Amino acid sequence: MRMRGWVIVGGLVWWGCGGEAAPPPSQPSLEDVEALLSNPSTSVHVPFEVEASGVVEAALAGDLFLGPEGAARLEARGTFAGQDVDVMAVSDGDRLIWSGATEPVPAPAGLRDALVVGLTRMGILHNLARLTAGAPPDRMEGGVREWVVVSPDTSGAAPPAGLSGEGLALAIAVDGVPSGAFRLTFDETGRVPRIRRQGVDFPDGRMEVTERYPTVALQARFPEGHFEPPSEVPDRR
């Protein structure tokens, strides 16, 4: 028979039955999430759905794969700024090619960090927008953590969480310039992101972005050749 009683957890008093569901996991810091996803021994699959409205409209779906020894693959398809797009960047850890590049180039050591920090701090739409313009992931040569810096949002500018919990409300500074705020919420494990909401102000208006990461997989398995860069990427921008 399970015993009912009062339980003190983290200074809060809970009433329940012994052996029943525990309180929700504590919320991670952004540093915790980035350390987990950046760990070269962790193989990661992040499926995503992106919706943007306002001065720039987008509806994209795709996948970010992070493999061993610097291997990475980012791909998306949908619409961006009124155009149909189908973009990708792929690296086996030694060579890298992306949409718009004519041939593979040596892969920079900072590629995985650029993709992870691009996801957690800028939102994955940032690097997808670069791919639609024929440019590789931003700051892949290094220094991405110093280039985009986050801090607690004290202005209240971060969008509401909606139905996914409070999450982290953070302000962004890019190259030292304040550049908006976002809210990141987590899945039921409390370890990986689930929804990211951000508002971005431009001189000619505002863009609202929602990114969803339905089922982030850690220690994911990939088919043979998944990270093999092709000799060229068809230009479908």
Q: pLDDT tens-digit profile of 49-95?
A: 999 999 999 999 999 999 999 999 999 999 999 999 999 999 999 99
Instruction: State how far the Cα of 21 lies from the Cα of 9, in Å rounded to an integer.
Output: 13
Rounded to the nearest integer, the mean pLDDT of the chain is 87
Q: Where do runs of H (alpha helix) occur along 40-189?
A: 111-117, 124-132, 144-147
Q: What is the pTM of this model?
A: 0.86
Please state which of the ranges 8-12, 47-51, 114-118, 141-145 shows the lowest mean pLDDT: 8-12
Per-residue pLDDT, 62? 98
Count of residues in the chain: 237
Question: Which long-range contacts (C-beta less than 8 Å, at least 24 apart) are formed by 174-182?
Answer: 174/122, 174/147, 174/148, 175/147, 175/148, 181/153, 181/155, 181/157, 182/123, 182/158
Summarised one tens digit per residue, pLDDT across range 128-170 is 999 999 999 999 999 999 999 999 998 887 777 654 457 899 9
Q: Which helix (H) or strand (E) holds 38?
A: helix 30-38
Instruction: State how far the Cα of 142 lies from the Cα of 116, in Å rounded to an integer.
Output: 12
Boundaries of every domain in the chain = 29-218
In this predicted structure, the answer to whether residue 195 has a pLDDT above a threshold of 50 is yes
Residues of the chain above pLDDT 70, percent? 86
Q: Once rounded to an integer, what is the mean pLDDT over residues 105-120? A: 97
Q: What is the architecture of the domain spanning 29-218?
A: Clam (2.50)
